[in-house]
Amino acid sequence: MTEGKIEYELGQLNAKISQIDMAAKTIDGWLPRNFTMKFFDLGETSMTSMENTGKLVVSKIGRRKFYCVKSIIALLKNNIVSK
């Protein structure tokens, strides 16, 4: 994958995250955990692992967890696979 293609796809991902951000009615850049799990198609164990390793910034209110959108974007950027 060329650098231009990677940049294009990152732009597409950023646009998609922005749409999700608006659709999910985030609060100042935070997404609910259940929405984030559906977006990534991941379960409880995977999400907890990313929380514990610091890959996702988490805020907890009662039993509900919220993820910082900037940490989600950083996670996507840090896991680019170029072939």
The model's pLDDT over 27-60, given as tens digits with 9 standing for 90+, comes to 778 999 988 998 889 999 999 999 999 999 999 9
Query: Cα-flanking dihedrals φ and ψ of residue 46, to 5°?
Result: -65, -40
Instruction: Output 28 or 1, whichever has higher pLDDT.
Output: 28
Residue whose tokens read 């996702």: 56
In 3D, which of 33, 42, 37 has the Cα closest to residue 68? Answer: 33
Edge-first strand listing for the sheet containing 58-61: 30-32, 64-68, 58-61
| Terminal CA-CA length for the chain | 5
The number of beta carbons lying within 10 Å of the beta carbon of residue 51 is: 16
Taking the model in full, what pTM does it have? Answer: 0.66
Structural domains in the chain, CATH included, are 3-78 (1.10.10)
